Amino acid sequence: MAVTTSEAEGTENSSRRAWNLGVRARLLLAFFGITTFAVLAAAAGIYAFREVGDRLDVVDTRIPLTLSALDLSRSAERIIAVAPALLAATDRNRRDEINTAFAAEAERLNAALVELKSDDAALLPLSAIEPVVSSLTANLATFEDLVARRLEANERIRTLRQSIFRTNDETQRLLAPWLEVLSDQAMTLIEGPTGPADQRPRLASLIEMQRLVRAAQAQGSAVADMLAEASTTDQPRRLPILAFQLGLAMRELETIAVGLDPKLRPLFLEQMAKLREVAQGPNTIAEARKQELALVEEGEKLLTETGRLSAQLTAAVDKLGSAAKREISEAMRDALSVQRLSTRALVVVVVLSLLTSFLIVWLYVGGNIVRRLTALSDGMLAIAGGTLHAPVAVEGADEIAAMGQAVEIFRRNTLERDGLLAEKAQAAELLEKEVKQRTAELAQSVTEVEEKGRQLDIANKYKSHFLASASHDLRQPLHALNLFVAQLRTEPDPAGRNRLIERIDAAVGSMNELFEALLDMSKLEAGILEPNFAEFPVDRLLKRIEMTFADAAREKGLCLTMVPSSVWVHSDFVLLERILFNLVSNAVRYTARGSVVVGGRRIGGQLRIDVCDTGPGIPEAQQRNVFGEFYQLAKSDRRGGLGLGLAIVDRLGRLLDHPIQLRSRPGRGSRFSVLVPLVAQQRSAADLSVASAVADPAHDKLVLVIDDDALVLDGMGGILRGWGCEVVTAESGERALAKLSAQLREPDLIISDYRLDNGKSGIEAIDRLRSELGAAIPAFLISGDTGPERLREASASGYHLLHKPVTPMRLRAMINQLMKPRPELDAIGVASGLIPSRLPAAAQDPVPRPQ
């Protein structure tokens, strides 16, 4: 209703304004009166500007020409400044970079000269400038050519210097092995069975040959040093001296070459020929350096001449500037005279204009418009201050009255808006609480991310420590193997040879444990282990562990006790056995004296299998870390371990959903526990028994072995023939097909290396053989690659995969698995623990290993 009333009042005021002059019309009349005086003032100003403009035209025509002359001088100075850097350029890229700036300044120089030659500059004294600029331009062209020639010489010197260093390195690499061989031969003669006295002539010859080889090394290095000095010297007088010294050194090398071994001499002379090409003749490095120094000297002379021309150009430009300055001064005096006259006329007109404006503003604007606008402003300030209930005063029928009506409507609308704002404030408060809650959640997420980053840094530190540890632990048995093999070659006693063979077998076993620990972690990281839960008696598992570690415990003087148990559990036999193997292995390894006890205890519906030892114990601060990868206690005996055993136990426990527990006291010992579900109804152990006498499934079977390594083929063939197999070996799938064509039957088993020659794989070879023979022949792969990606590829192929090094026991178990009838495999199954058939084919490993 308020808005409707305001609209009615506005319509009435508009009809009233139609019959009266409004503010716009009145101000327009006042504007015309004031403008009359402004026009008069403008006329006086235009006259003054026209007169001053005529004088400034003279200035305008002289200043650009003077500036062009100054640009000409500055361009010449910049060219002189750039020239030394261009002469000192060390490569083409630097030369081209400076040349670009050089060419730009030369263009500016020519452009400034062309501008000075225009018609407006016909009266200026340019006769002294043009010859100097022409001479300067010619010198610049000569200077660019000289720099190009100097760079060519410098590049040639650099190429020769690289050839010298390369030849010197080749010579040192040629002589060093010979010197080492001669030293070894001399030591062999001295320490030989006949004694040094019987080999004196030969020994003297070797010593003399060593002396000559060392002299050749030293003299060759001296020649290279002198050639390098010749390529960098700044003294031309030094070059003939170096050339003379090089000649003497080359003749000395020729003399040394005569006494060298006949096999070494031609190779040595070939290297000396390369040095002679650089040291002697018309294209030597000294001659190239001499040419470069001559070009530098010529460039410096040219720089001096260019500087003299620049000074002449500067003097000529100064004369030109003086002439232009005189003309500009005269024009400025005339302009000032006109300006004073025009100022007087403008002052009179402006005074009259100000008087008229004052009368209009005082009588009309101040007495009517300003008063009403002040009243309107007071009302608007009251509204802005929050006083919305006082109405705005409105009088008159012009534009100011209409503005007052608009403010009144605004006041009424503001009252309504305040009510809406109160409601929005409540909604904003609720939103602020929600934002605070979300912010707190985000801060918690950031804290968790930072904690993950800290854990990642710790893992990286442990992995770096692991690389160093693995390198040491792998080198130790490899070093022992080398020593034992060397002793085996010279050991005549059969008992001693058997003793060495046992030690070699122990060293190989140590290496196998290290590699197999890495393989276990790779399988776990690849996520390819799939547990196959079954029911089995736990006592069978304990007996296998006792058989494995009884001898090791006895050798250390430990008492290994297995507490018998008649309960059955529900788990994966091989993976649970792997967990207990690692725990018992650690207990035996780190317990110096006392005992190791393994037994089970019922806890509700679970069996807690405990591995207790009297070892050094684990501090409470480190008990959370021992299950991490590559972690070892600071004072532990780390021989034979990489810090992966307990990490594998933790991973397998989580895979099987068997919680792992640890209780330990330093100095008292430790107890590791595995919680395994019990079986509700136990079965007889006879259900899973296996006949003690089982026919050998591999006897008289034809086995095809594919590997690109001849030593592997020979070793694999020998061990398979020892088991009663007929063996065909081949380096590739194509060779296998060719050899099988001579056989009267198909192979019963295919064994292939994963990686073959020419980028082919064992999977491709097996698939082709099966396709060509038209039969699904049993097959498995062997590989030394334990990477997670390789494990996934092999798993996807569906073939079993063993990892090198493969022990005979593991190889025999895999062959029996693939060649026995399926019912017999089911009988062996979980009870034997040799065939983990529930694992993916590529992840299977028939023999569990302690870590």
**Three-state DSSP string of 390-445:** CCCCCCCCCHHHHHHHHHHHHHHHHHHHHHHHHHHHHHHHHHHHHHHHHHHHHHHH
Are residues 561 and 647 located together in one domain of the fold?
Answer: yes
With CA atoms as reference, report the closest residue to 538 among 677, 656, 655, 657. Answer: 677
280, 250 contact by CB (below 8 A): yes
Residues 532 and 631 in one domain: yes
pLDDT at 684: 52
- pTM as predicted: 0.37
Considering only 71-85, 266-280, 371-385, 503-517, which range has the smallest mean pLDDT?
Answer: 71-85
- Domain membership flag for residue 751: yes
- Mean pLDDT confidence for 796-820: 82
Q: What is the pLDDT of residues 696-721, one digit of tens each?
A: 787 888 999 999 888 888 888 888 99
What value does the CA radius of gyration of the chain take, rounded to a whole number of Å? 52
Residue 6: the pLDDT is: 46
- Whether the pLDDT of residue 845 is over 60: the answer is no
DSSP 705: E
| Selection from 536, 582, 567 nearest residue 829 by Cα | 536
Contact 733, 772 (CB under 8 A): no
Residue 362, amino acid: W
**Total residues belonging to the chain:** 851
Residues 670 and 775 both lie in one domain: no
Domain final position from 684, 711, 728: 684
Q: Mean pLDDT, to the nearest integer, of 638-656?
A: 72
Sheet arrangement for strand 779-783: 726-730, 702-706, 749-753, 779-783, 800-803
User: Residue 426: pLDDT above 90?
Assistant: no
* pLDDT at position 751: 94
User: What is the spatial distance between Cα 572 and Cα 151, in angstroms, rounded to a whole number?
Assistant: 78
Query: Where is average pLDDT lowest: 73-87, 250-264, 735-749?
Result: 73-87
Residue 391: C-alpha distances to residues 339, 378, 387, 388, 405 (Å):
58, 11, 9, 8, 10
Write down the pLDDT at residue 267: 82
**Position with higher pLDDT, 458 vs 238:** 238
The per-residue pLDDT for 542 is 92
H/E segment holding residue 364: none
Round the average pLDDT of the chain to a whole number and report it. Answer: 74
Domain assignment of residue 234, yes or no: yes
- How confident is the model over 215-231, as pLDDT tens digits? 878 887 777 777 777 76
Check which CATH number belongs to the domain holding 560 and give it. Answer: 3.30.565.10
Amino acid at site 613: D
3-state SS, residue 216? helix
Whether residue 580 is found in the same domain as residue 711 = no
Q: Give the residue, 643 or 786, on which the prediction is more confident.
A: 786
Whether the per-residue pLDDT at 25 is higher than 60: the answer is: yes
User: Do 739 and 824 fall into the same domain?
Assistant: yes
Return d(Cα 17, Cα 25) in angstroms, integer. 11
Contact 670, 618 (CB under 8 A): yes
Residues 562-575 have pLDDT tens digits of 999 999 999 999 88
Q: Would 728 be classed as within a structural domain? A: yes
Question: Which pLDDT belongs to residue 840?
Answer: 39
Q: At what angle do helices 645-656 and 573-590 cross, to 10 degrees?
A: 150
Query: Are 768 and 736 in contact, with CB atoms under 8 Å apart?
Result: no
182 or 62, higher pLDDT: 182
pLDDT(813) > 50: yes
**The two three-digit tokens of residue 225, written as one number:** 């040093």
E-strand ranges in 656-699 read 660-665, 669-677
Q: Quick check: 607 pLDDT over 90?
A: yes
Q: Report yes or no on 575 lying in a domain.
A: yes
Q: What is the pLDDT of residue 563?
A: 93
Q: What is the pLDDT of residue 330?
A: 73
Domain stop point among 264, 280, 296: 280
- Residue 750: inside a domain: yes
Same domain? For 745 and 800 the reply is: yes
Same domain, 706 and 669: no
Same-domain check for residues 546 and 670: yes
Q: Indicate if the pLDDT at residue 60 is higher than 60.
A: yes
Q: Which residue has the higher pLDDT, 53 or 211?
A: 211
Burial level of 409, CB count in 10 A (0-12/13-18/19+)? middle
pLDDT number for residue 82? 58
Among the ranges given (237-251, 333-347, 368-382, 453-467), the one the predictor scored with the smallest mean pLDDT: 453-467
Determine contact, residues 247/272, Cβ cutoff 8 Å: no
Q: Which distant-in-sequence residues (6+ apart) come within 8 Å of 821 by Cβ?
A: none
Q: Is residue 233 included in any domain, yes or no?
A: yes
Q: Is residue 667 in a domain?
A: yes
Rounded mean pLDDT, 159-176: 78
Range of the domain at 744: 702-843
Question: Is the pLDDT reported for residue 609 higher than 90?
Answer: yes
Percent of the chain scored above 90 by pLDDT?
10
Task: Indicate the number of domains in the chain.
Answer: 3
pLDDT for residue 846 is more than 50:
no
Q: Are 649 and 567 in the same domain?
A: yes
What does the pLDDT read at residue 613? 94
Q: What is the mean pLDDT of residues 59-71?
A: 63
Whether residues 664 and 718 share a domain: the answer is no
**Which CATH number covers residue 808?**
3.40.50.2300
Q: Tell me the mean pLDDT in the region 673-677.
A: 95
| Average pLDDT value for residue range 667-685 | 81
| Range with the poorest average pLDDT among 239-243, 314-318, 498-502, 616-620 | 314-318
Q: Each residue of 680-698: pLDDT tens digit?
A: 755 554 444 443 444 578 7
Model pLDDT, residue 282: 65
> Residue 830: what pLDDT?
40
- Give the residues across from 727 on adjacent strands: 703
d(CA 709, CA 248): 55
pLDDT band at 614, cuts 50/70/90?
Answer: very high
> 747 and 707 in one domain?
yes
Q: Is the pLDDT of residue 748 over 50?
A: yes
Q: Is 804 found in the same domain as 714?
A: yes
**Residue 465 domain-assigned (yes or no):** no
Instruction: Using alpha carbons only, give the angle 561, 567, 572 rounded to the nearest 5 degrees.
Output: 90
* Residue at a domain's end among 280, 299, 331: 280
